[in-house]
A and B are shown apart, each in its own frame.
With several copies, the nearest count.
Chain A
Amino acid sequence: MTEFQENSKVIDCRSLTRDVYILTLSSPQIAQTALPGQFVMIRVSDMDDPLLRRPFSIYDVSTSGEILILFKIVGRGTRLLSTLDPGDSVNVIGPLGNGYTLHPSGNACLVGGGMGIAPIYFLAKKMNMAKREKSNFHVILGARSGDELVPLLDAFNKFDMQIDCATDDGSFGHHGFVTQLLDPVLPNVSQVYVCGPTAMMQIVAEKCLEQNVCCETSLETHMACGLGACLGCTVSGADGQYVHVCKHGPVFKADEIKWEK
């Protein structure tokens, strides 16, 4: 795997909601090689504070050399990102990590919650392109409320997949958790892909493990480098050994991870 460091021009930075944005960057080398589930490390400031790069999943790539990032403002770094204007530049390293394993045949369910929708969209796009005649792909998306979800749906609706939605506040789709929408789907699929809040991923992972369905989860941890150098991004593997999310992941099979009790 080769990672690149690019000084990327901002093509666009627009808000979907008050705190969710889509950032479009010109990063030809990353765009050309990125796989769904991989991420980039973005330097959000040229100053010494905030110091460290921030990790973001690749939400989409364009054939004209652009990468798209779907992000939510949760702190200082993401706030700075949201103030970028077209013509500004940011330094980006990527693509990083392993990415999801594409199983184009068989039935699969893709589950994305919150900003976890980002890699799930890129995955859905690739899966849709690779889709075999007899396969059924199902997408389940969740968010706090409808205004976060609706602007993203048009793009998903172009795919030959069934889309179900859940919102915490019931303002759109099912009132409740994505995990509840998964239950009826699970018996009919051989593969689940999930990205979202850790608590959600854990429930999905456990349901899949119970029913013997392959499940790939994309983990989040604090990352100082994203390159495998700082050894800061540890989680406990199923065997009790530490694994590093940036290098061995961020995508892990559900049974590779020791989920907290």
Chain B
Amino acid sequence: MIVKDLDLNVKIGSLLLKNPVMTASGTFGYGEEFENLIDLNRIGAIIVKGISYEPRPGNPPPRVVETSSGMLNAIGLENVGVERFISEKLPYFDHVDSRLIVNILGDSRVDGIEVNISCPNVKKGGVAFGTIPAMAAAVTRAVKAETDQPVIVKLSPNVTDITEIACAVEDGGADSVSLINTLIGMAIDIKSKQPKLANIIGGLSGPAIKPVALRMVHQVSQRVKIPVIGIGGIATYEDAVEFLLAGASAIQVGTANFYQPKAVEYIIDGISRYLQEEKVQAVNDIIGKVQINR
């Protein structure tokens, strides 16, 4: 039996996505970098690199280093700034049939906003917001007051209890939480005796962190009512399905884009195949359906 009319739609607050697969901020450039390698129109939503008001040069090199099944980055939010983003990068999306989610405030073509309160590579601000519930809630409230777009708040995993932060952010009015950002890590070159990153520490991402991300997504989805977006080491459709079963309403693909630019396409196709095999018509019907017997 073939399940007809598979329904991959998911809703993140008021935002309807044609499928639950997005690209994670900072791992997909401004979208156009991938146009020859993947059909951008198939992607549920594209989240572009974090945009700050002023352009930021980012951290000195070296900025990336490979680790076992992962990588450390200390890009430091290098970005073109709001102005150049709007004039140079945004128009490109006029012809892309995928949701566009950014970190900046308001704009007609922007479909949603992800607020990164968890970047480990920026010295002031970010990190503290992400680890103190009251501050996380305050930031959320401030952003909500400024926009009508759905607001997704992106959480840091470098905390004792991520559910506490998630609840605070939900109270602050967030439409969704996304998690996880990178774990803070470090690597040392034993020849030069220097840290491998000029910034000393960086964010760990990739398959290495998937078990931690999945655990946190599961914990958070049991505590909040708003949709949870799963991020962390997702590279295959099996990974994506694990997160959906754990309670994520959608997922983001990060580091995998670097080594498999077609990852998002493969994941969307794989989810469809999985639904067929499981004889489930709508992706919504597997969200949170992990079987826990005790």
Contacts and interface: CB of A to CB of B under 8 A. Distances in A.
CB–CB under 8 A between A and B in the complex? yes
Contact of B206 (A3, A51, A229): A51
A234 B206 contact: no
A223 B33 CA distance: 15
Nearest to A227: B33
A49 B68 contact: yes
Given A53-B259, A230-B75, A234-B58, A2 B63 contact: no
A112 to B, nearest CB: 24
Interface in B1-58: 26-29, 33-34, 36-37, 49, 57-58
A227 B57 contact: no
Given A224-B73, A229-B258, A232-B73, A242 B57 contact: yes
Interface string A215-226: 000000111110
Contacts of B58: 231, 234, 242
Contacts of A234: 58, 60-61, 63, 78
Contacts of A163: none
Contact of A93 (B26, B28, B37, B207): B37
A86 to B, nearest CB: 24
A133 interface: no
Contacts of B257: 225, 229
Contacts of B27: 229-230
B62 A231 contact: no
B261 interface: yes
A157 interface: no
Interface string A224-249: 11011111111110000110000000
Given A51-B71, A227-B261, A229-B28, A2 B36 contact: yes
B152 to A, nearest CB: 21
A242 B63 CA distance: 12
B261 A224 contact: no
A225 B27 CA distance: 9
Given A51-B66, A52-B66, A230-B258, A3 B75 contact: no
Given A52-B71, A242-B57, A232 B36 contact: no
Contacts of A233: 61, 63-64
A241 B57 contact: yes
Nearest to A235: B61
B261 A93 contact: yes
B33 A229 contact: yes
A187 interface: no
Consensus secondary structure, chain A interface = loop
A221 B62 CA distance: 8
Interface in A71-122: 91, 93
Pick from B34, B65, B259 the residue with the most CB of A within 10 Å: B259
Contacts of A4: 36
Contacts of A222: 61-65
Interface string A188-225: 00000000000000000000000000000000011111
Contacts of B34: 227, 229
A51 B63 contact: no
A224 B259 CA distance: 8
Nearest to B65: A222
Contact of B33 (A49, A51, A224, A228): A228
Interface in A41-60: 43, 48-53
A235 B60 CA distance: 8
Pick from A53, A232, A242 the residue with the most CB of B within 10 Å: A232
B89 interface: no
A197 to B, nearest CB: 15
A43 B75 CA distance: 23
B258 A52 contact: yes
A224 B29 contact: no
A49 B258 contact: no
Nearest to A91: B260
A4 B257 CA distance: 15
B141 interface: no
Contacts of B75: 230-232
B150 interface: no
A179 interface: no
Interface in B249-282: 255, 257-262
Given A52-B71, A225-B257, A232 B64 contact: yes
Contacts of A2: 36
Given A48-B207, A52-B259, A221 B69 contact: no
Given A5-B261, A93-B261, A230 B66 contact: no
Contacts of A242: 57-58, 61, 78
B126 interface: no
B70 interface: yes
Given A5-B37, A229-B29, A230-B75, 8 more contacts: A43-B259, A43-B260, A222-B64, A222-B65, A227-B33, A230-B73, A231-B29, A235-B61
Q: Which 10 pairs of residues, A with B, have the shortest CB-CB distance?
A: A232-B64, A229-B29, A225-B258, A48-B69, A48-B68, A48-B207, A234-B61, A224-B64, A228-B33, A229-B33
